[in-house]
Structure 1
């Protein structure tokens, strides 16, 4: 019986720890970039660096007109291509990866970071397909 109590206690601690970590990550992503609606995103997107963090195949299948592709899988090595002196607009399919990309950029000293609420999945504006 004591073995089961110990095992349950350990599992509970692991679950609470994991939940705390996920909550921390959620707020970290939320703090890293301002979330914009599609209308807000469209308003200034010609004056900013528009980055699609989806993989190349997804980007080639369709992306927001004017975006350039820096896949999240290559983000750590390629984020040096993004200028620090201009606002950065990020998006992915549904905003999970763009949040993680924003955290990396924020840690690297980028300040004006924005991401698309709902991601490309909910985008109704102009797109380009290869």
Structure 2
């Protein structure tokens, strides 16, 4: 085997690992449709976290959400109670899955996310400046 072939195999391995880590499911994470997400939030005392960046939140957020961007999730874990169900959402559902991984690794167990994110949300939105996020 020449060095070019070895390099290509290693590079392919990194690419496969990257995509797997981005798209693989999170153990114990409930993937909820917009209707299921709304219904589940109506039933229990929960924490709703918008993991988008503040600039994105200005476009509107789900009422009652707290904005803890994925980029600062690790530093803000102490703000999230471990004894309540956590509902996560972002724009498309990718960052909320990543946030769930961070939370899971830090001892959070009741995790759900909005499958498809804000792009799939059918419920009402609150605009920035109205409180919440």
TM over 0.5: yes
Give unpaired runs (5+ residues) of structure 1.
none
What TM-score do you get using the length of structure 2 for normalisation? 0.85
Compute the displacement of 1:69 (Å): 0.5
* Alignment root-mean-square deviation, CA: 1.8
Q: Which runs of 4+ in 1 moved over 3 A?
A: none
Bigger Rg over Cα: 1
The structure richer in helix per residue is: 1
- Partner of residue 9 from structure 2, selected from 9, 12, 19: 12
Give the match's secondary structure for 1:58. helix
Compute the displacement of 1:60 (Å): 2.1
Compute the displacement of 1:14 (Å): 1.8
Compute the displacement of 1:25 (Å): 4.7
- Partner of residue 88 from structure 1, selected from 82, 86, 89: 86
CA distance in 2, matches of 1:24, 1:56: 25
What TM-score do you get using the length of structure 1 for normalisation? 0.87
Give unpaired runs (5+ residues) of structure 2.
129-133
Does the 8 Å CA contact 1:32/1:103 hold for their aligned counterparts?
Answer: no
